[in-house]
Amino acid sequence: MLLPNPPTPSVQSDVSSEVETTSKRSHEEEDMNGVSEEQPVSKRSLNEKNIGCNVPSTSHQIYCDIDLSNLVADPGLRKQISSYHPNDRDLVRRAYLLKGPCQPKDHQFPQKMMRGKLRKFVKDWFDDFKGWLEYSIEKDAVFCLYCFLFRREQGMQGGGKTFTETGYNNWERKSNLQVHVGGVNSAHNKAYMMAQDLLNQNQHIESVIIKQSDRARSEYRVHLIAVTDVIRFLLHQGLAFRGHDESETSSNRGNFLELLEYTADHNETIKTILQNASENLKLTSPDIQKDMVNACAVETMIVILKDLGNALFAILIDEARDVSIKEQMVVVLRYVDKSGCVIERFFGVVHVNDTSAISLKKAIEEFFSKHGLSITRLRGQGYDGASNMRGEFNGLKALILNDNKSAFYVHCFAHQLQLALVAVAKNQEDIALLFNIVSNVVNIVGASCKRRDALREKNALRVMEAFGKGEIQSGRGLLQETGLKRSGDTRWGSHYGTLLSLICMFPSVIDVLEDIAEEGRNSEQRGEASALMDQMQSFTFIFSMYLMKEILGITNDLSKSLQREDQDIVNAMALVEVCKTRLQTMRDSGWDLFLTEVSLTCAKYSVQVPKMEDKFVARGRSRRGVGEVTNLHYYCYKLFYGCIDWQTQELGNRFNETATELLLCMVCLDPRDSFIAFDKTKLIRFAEFYPADFSPIELMVLGDQLETYIMDVRANIKSSELNGLNGLARKLVETRKHIVYPLVYLLITLALTLPVATASVERAFSAMNIVKNRLRNRMGDQFMNDSLITYIEKDIFDGIDNESIIQRFQKMGPRRGQL
Ligand SMILES: [Zn+2]
């Protein structure tokens, strides 16, 4: 641990210079290019290396920005190693080696005519040449990872540039791959040896020179684990790492340093090690933190990708504009895991420079390529329609559908529904005003604890009174509302709850406002409270409040069902129809009843009800502004019919034809009531939506399989014990029937993959805001992405042991300490 500070040779030259002496020294330029033996210790060569930063350097070196976590994966697209600065090359090589060869196993490899026969890449070759064979989706050709990373100019041996730059695509001749590997001293095998050396820490000159004692090693490990624990804690809680002032004298040096110190204060061993660590071995630099966080995120991603396996998936995309006004896409994957459960996982934040559909598509492709996924595996797409990038997302959706017809766009219905409500509010100023007032009331009443207590007290009394008069039935959910709910910005479903509370507690709320108006802290507050009180006690307000309560009430079950994580589409489709019918009924015959209810409420609170046949006078306007419109026209036609029609129209538009057909076919998989919905013809129609998954022959097999399947499950699975389609999938896996009926099971997984609910996207978003607010503007894209993955996918992150993290951290760059 207590390393002397010898004139460390540049780390970047270690492997290459050492290895090069054994291979042909044919690229002097690499050594001459600034990395000579006498070169002063560059900052890069220290443990605390800087990635992606311009390191002020005394020498003439120029470090370009390389984002090691985001290296291009597709071998047909990436930059040649020689195009990196010599000092960066080993970092890049190491990153690629850690990533492993690019093997998109589940890509649909295109066929091409070769000497009269259709041929394509055979994915089994990945297994035959596991360590090195790489496939480029872009070029439809294979490459060699080791040769790409380490090959020198060696003429045509091993295929020249075929496996490093141009790519090999003669699918008739697999034998050439074996030829490429060659004998012990082949170019390929030499490259392989160099790769092993690079990954083997002991080969580093640094390590060789500084033989670390066993004690130093074990101290390093303790030190590293202490730092890892601190980092894990911060990630887990979504806390900021750094403080504003991290100097020794600062009273608050930021969470990371403070927590590390706290740990040391409670553990003598760690304390001694930390105190004894020399300045550049403290493992506290921001770059060490970044690497460590990245190691955590990468390990988490590995688990997620492993769980995804070769499942088909859907993507859910939403935009996020962070404080620094960068456009970001949040990507969530939805798939059915091996036990038959629907999983939605936060997959990362993609930063885009411009928001044209083409750039978005490119960003998605790069993102997929980075994780070894292929767009051919997509079976669904969903976007947050409420976002600013709505138009661009439409373009992106179309571009993806061009590539893959089965990437169905079944919109996140929950968001659609919210959008519809936003549209209603935007269309009607009285409705907009209603929500504005409500949110002000919630703010002013909910502002302090004291006031909330006052509300509870008064409400309790009111509820007691109400019981006496028999107005409220007990046992209803409303009674449990003990405080006014705060409604989220865009989560309109929650407005329903708020309106319910407000209606239920209307008199108490007015009382509390009155209190504030009289005894508020300052005149501003008193004024606001009294203005709100005024606005609330008007016919228009009460009318709008009840109208929105009715409309939101009708769509509430649908909205809730769409947002539930275990939501199944069958219910959703049924609810859409129910909503449409209920809205129609309300329009046809609901007006009189509605007006009576509003009028009674007004009478109860002594609010004047205008005569419907009088001319309408808009609030706050002078009498001169009285138009030709009657109150009946305004309240009934404009507000009542207007809002209902708008909502009906939005529902119709958003649940469109393809989506509906797809979903209605899917309904036939519903296991309820002994699979009563089962319809073989429709299910085959459903399979036809996925030509990549069902060949014409398989469609015929599917027909037979469906008949046996339905007899089997009707006889042997109690559908009443299943929780929808979701439960059916799990049950089939449990009883191993998914192996017996692979095509039927595939159909079920496809149905479950469609992104109908978006619970996770919202989850990712609120998490993103938590993390971002705390970390403010000071996080780079990668750091934020890493923090988010570990924060949102905690359940996975928590299961990863420290050892995997420190091993990865150790391999990510040359480290001074050895494990
Ligand atoms: Zn090779």
Per-domain residue ranges of the chain: 11-206, 213-411+778-819, 419-654, 667-753
Confidence of residue 210 (pLDDT cuts 50, 70, 90): low
Is the Cα torsion angle 666, 669, 671, 673 positive or negative in sign?
Answer: positive
Mean pLDDT of 636-660: 79
* Per-residue confidence (pLDDT) for residue 709, from 0 to 100: 95
* Per-residue confidence (pLDDT) for residue 623, from 0 to 100: 55
Distance 663 CA to ligand 1 centre (A): 48
pLDDT tens digit string along 186-198? Answer: 888 888 988 888 8
Distance 148 CA to ligand 1 centre (A): 7
User: Rounded distance, CA 789 to CA 764, Å?
Assistant: 9
Mean pLDDT of 365-393: 78
* Per-residue confidence (pLDDT) for residue 384, from 0 to 100: 64
Inter-residue contact 343 to 336 (CB < 8 Å): yes
Inter-residue contact 616 to 627 (CB < 8 Å): yes
Distance 74 CA to ligand 1 centre (A): 16
As given in the structure block, the two tokens for residue 58 are 């005394």
Q: Which of 52-56, 105-109, 259-263, 408-412 has the lowest mean pLDDT?
A: 52-56
Distance 200 CA to ligand 1 centre (A): 20
Distance 165 CA to ligand 1 centre (A): 12
**Sequence-ordered strand ranges (E) for 392-453:** none
Q: Which of 14-23, 554-563, 579-588, 744-753 has the lowest mean pLDDT?
A: 14-23
Distance 627 CA to ligand 1 centre (A): 84
* Per-residue confidence (pLDDT) for residue 690, from 0 to 100: 93
Confidence of residue 52 (pLDDT cuts 50, 70, 90): very low
pTM of the model: 0.62
* Per-residue confidence (pLDDT) for residue 707, from 0 to 100: 94
Helix, strand, coil tally for the chain in percent (to 5): 60, 5, 35
Confidence of residue 799 (pLDDT cuts 50, 70, 90): very high
Distance 173 CA to ligand 1 centre (A): 16
Q: Which of 539-543, 767-771, 807-811 has the lowest mean pLDDT?
A: 767-771
* Per-residue confidence (pLDDT) for residue 530, from 0 to 100: 86
Distance 80 CA to ligand 1 centre (A): 15
Inter-residue contact 415 to 384 (CB < 8 Å): yes
* Per-residue confidence (pLDDT) for residue 36, from 0 to 100: 35
pLDDT of 386 > 60? The answer is no
Mean pLDDT of 492-510: 73
Winning range, highest mean pLDDT, from 484-488, 608-612, 696-700: 696-700
Q: How far is CA 531 from CA 442, 484, 499, 517, in A?
A: 14, 19, 19, 9
SS (H, E, C) 760-789: HHHHHHHHHHHHHHHHCCCCCHHHHHHHHH
Distance 72 CA to ligand 1 centre (A): 19
Backbone angles phi, psi at 637, to 5 degrees: -75, -50
Confidence of residue 533 (pLDDT cuts 50, 70, 90): confident
Q: Which residues, at least 6 apart from 265, have a Cβ–Cβ distance to it below 8 Å? A: 271
Distance 147 CA to ligand 1 centre (A): 4
Mean pLDDT of 490-504: 66
* Per-residue confidence (pLDDT) for residue 738, from 0 to 100: 92
Distance 134 CA to ligand 1 centre (A): 10
Distance 145 CA to ligand 1 centre (A): 7
pLDDT tens digit string along 116-150? Answer: 888 999 888 998 888 899 999 889 999 999 999 98
Distance 122 CA to ligand 1 centre (A): 18
Using DSSP bridges, classify how beta strands 313-321 and 141-144 pair: parallel, antiparallel or unpaired. Answer: unpaired
DSSP string, 195-261: HHHHH-GGGSHHHHHS---HHHHHHHHHHHHHHHHHHHHHHHHT-----S--STT-S--HHHHHHHH
* Per-residue confidence (pLDDT) for residue 406, from 0 to 100: 87
* Per-residue confidence (pLDDT) for residue 316, from 0 to 100: 84
Distance 104 CA to ligand 1 centre (A): 18
DSSP string, 623-649: GGG--S-BHIIIIIIIIIIHHHHHHHH
* Per-residue confidence (pLDDT) for residue 652, from 0 to 100: 74
Which H or E element spans position 142? strand 141-144
* Per-residue confidence (pLDDT) for residue 10, from 0 to 100: 39
Token pair 């769980």 in the structure block, residue: 307
Mean pLDDT of the chain: 76
Task: Using a pLDDT cut of 70, give the percent of the chain over it.
Answer: 73
Report which of 412, 452, 485 is spatially closest to residue 654, judged by C-alpha positions: 412
Mean pLDDT of 281-309: 89
Q: How far is CA 819 from CA 45, 95, 424, 734, in A?
A: 19, 19, 62, 43
Q: Which residue has the higher pLDDT, 445 or 284?
A: 284
Question: Could you tell me how far CA 392 lies from the centroid of its own chain?
Answer: 19
Distance 294 CA to ligand 1 centre (A): 29
Which H or E element spans position 330? strand 327-336
